[in-house]
Amino acid sequence: MTQADTSRDATGGTLEASGAPGCSAESTHVAGPHAERLENLYPGTPATVDREQGLVLYRDMVLGRRFEDKCAEMYYRGKMFGFVHLYNGQEAVSTGVIKAMKAQHDWFCSTYRDHVHALSCGVPAREVMSELFGKETGCSKGRGGSMHLFSREHHLLGGYAFIGEGIPVALGAAFTSRYKRDALGDASSDSVTAAFFGDGTCNIGQFYECLNMAALWKLPILFVVENNKWAIGMDHNRATSDPEIWRKAAAFGIPGEEVDGMDVLAVRAAAQRAIERARSGEGPTLLECLTYRYRGHSLADPDELRAQAEKEFWAQRDPIKRLAVHLTEHNLASGDELKAIDREIDAEVADAVEFALAAPEPSGEELTRYIWAED
């Protein structure tokens, strides 16, 4: 996008796109081509939720948001170190996918932007916060840190800090699921694996290698792309030949879907379709969720590249507010009830901080523990 492009359409209205809808890097949309794609997205049928399910989703997204806000606060107060990548704005993806799956049965794989995936998987906020503080009570015993959250108990295969490397690991979990069913004869083996990763990661070989293998062996896996338009400072449209990632599925003969990643019910519906296919042995799905991160790439990023109009466009489509409107409009919950949940979450996050602050440091005597399986 050039400066001239940004000034052309100040109304933020929908523009007619020529050719493939809304994918052109020469978008004239005030908030850029990524926003244009979202606006032109064909709205699929969103998931229907009852009160209980709706509140689970709401609670999970608010937890993700408030937890990350607290992380920023703690980072600036010097309680947490290293590279810390926050998930604000993308909550509908984690919640929409993971809460449609079976906890402690299905498997989940994340990246360095993994706090909220861990929370959605059910890893207690206390354990995640402890890990960020480097404490012994952390889910990785203080050895992993922000980018390496693991929980075998909650089937979190881990946060992987190198681009793309989590995808093959997730593929391995999906392979195990099929192996148990078909090689070990365990008919009850029907776990599905979800691999989360970003738009920039779709330019690395492992992405394509794993789409190929998953398709070849019909592995029960969801490739969930969190397309937030940016890979640190690299605009998605400058990094890839066809910005519509979901279309790449066709080359492997598997279903690909473009999803409104700011709408948890849309993500949930797409995830449910993909999970259903995976569980019944029909193989993988590529979901491209159009989303946006509200904050810089990490807490160390001054975030100077992204246009204000772009940020505003996505902020107006906040997934939490959107679900709140849905729940109240459909009389599934009242505004007061949601506010009460917000307060509960604040208390939970405050408790996590308190717990983590008071928690013990790992003992220096155990510095070399956990290298070997026996130790």
Partner 1 sequence: MAETLLFNALREAIDEEMARDPHVCVMGEDVGHYGGSYKVTKDLYEKYGELRVLDTPIAENSFTGMAVGAAMTGLRPIVEGMNMGFLLLAFNQISNNMGMLRYTSGGNYTIPAVVRGPGGVGRQLGAEHSQRLEAYFHAVPGIKIVAVSTPTNAKGLMKAAIRDDNPVLFFEHVLLYNLSEELPEGDYICALDQAEVVREGTDITILTYSRMRHHCLKAVQSLEAEGVDVELIDLISLKPFDMETIRASIRKTHKVLIVEECMKTGGIGAELMALITEQCFDDLDARPVRLSSQDIPTPYNGTLENLTIIQPHQIVEAARALKAGVI
Contact partner, 113, from ligand TPP, Mg ion, partner 1, none, Cβ < 5-8 Å per class: ligand TPP
CA separation for the pair 235, 240 (Å, rounded): 9
- CA of residue 314 relative to chain centroid, distance: 16
CA distances to 94, 268, 320 from 63, in Å? 12, 18, 10
Q: Rule CB under 8 A: say whether 158 interacts with partner 1.
A: yes
Sign of the alpha-carbon torsion through 67, 345, 194, 34: negative
Binder of ligand TPP out of 66, 113, 115, 277 (CB under 6 A): 113
* Residue 231 Cβ vs ligand TPP, minimum distance, rounded to whole Å: 3
Per-residue contact flags (x/-) with partner 1 for residues 184 to 223, judged by CB under 8 A: x--------------------xx--xx-xx--x-------
CA separation for the pair 49, 46 (Å, rounded): 9
Contact 308, 30 (CB under 8 A): no
Q: Rule CB under 5 A: say whether 228 interacts with Mg ion.
A: yes
Q: Rule CB under 6 A: say whether 115 interacts with ligand TPP.
A: no
Question: Which is nearer to ligand TPP, 76 or 162 (by Cβ)?
Answer: 162
Question: Is residue 234 within a helix (H) or strand (E), and if so which, with residue range?
Answer: strand 234-235
The C-alpha R_g of the chain, in whole angstroms, comes to 20
* Residue 60 Cβ vs partner 1, minimum distance, rounded to whole Å: 22
Q: Rule CB under 6 A: say whether 162 interacts with ligand TPP.
A: yes
Question: Which is nearer to partner 1, 191 or 285 (by Cβ)?
Answer: 191
Binder of partner 1 out of 5, 9, 69, 165 (CB under 8 A): 165
* Residue 225 Cβ vs partner 1, minimum distance, rounded to whole Å: 17
Total number of residues that touch partner 1 (CB under 8 A): 48
* Residue 223 Cβ vs Mg ion, minimum distance, rounded to whole Å: 15
Residue with tokens 């130790």: 375
Contact partner, 216, from partner 1, ligand TPP, Mg ion, none, Cβ < 5-8 Å per class: partner 1
SS3 198: strand
Contact partner, 143, from ligand TPP, Mg ion, partner 1, none, Cβ < 5-8 Å per class: partner 1
- The DSSP annotation for 227-285 comes to E-SEETTEEHHHH-S-S-GGGGGGGGTS-EEEEETT-HHHHHHHHHHHHHHHHTT---E
* Residue 7 Cβ vs partner 1, minimum distance, rounded to whole Å: 44
Q: Rule CB under 5 A: say whether 240 interacts with Mg ion.
A: no
CA separation for the pair 3, 309 (Å, rounded): 12
Candidate segments 7-15, 22-30, 227-235, 243-251, binder of ligand TPP by CB under 6 A: 227-235
Phi, psi of 224 (to 5 degrees): -105, 105
What sections of 148-240 are H helices per DSSP?
166-182, 205-216, 236-239
CA separation for the pair 16, 207 (Å, rounded): 32
Q: Rule CB under 6 A: say whether 33 interacts with ligand TPP.
A: no
Q: Which residues bind partner 1 (CB under 8 A)?
A: 107, 109, 138-144, 148, 150-152, 157-158, 160, 162, 165, 167-180, 182-184, 205-206, 209-210, 212-213, 216, 369-374
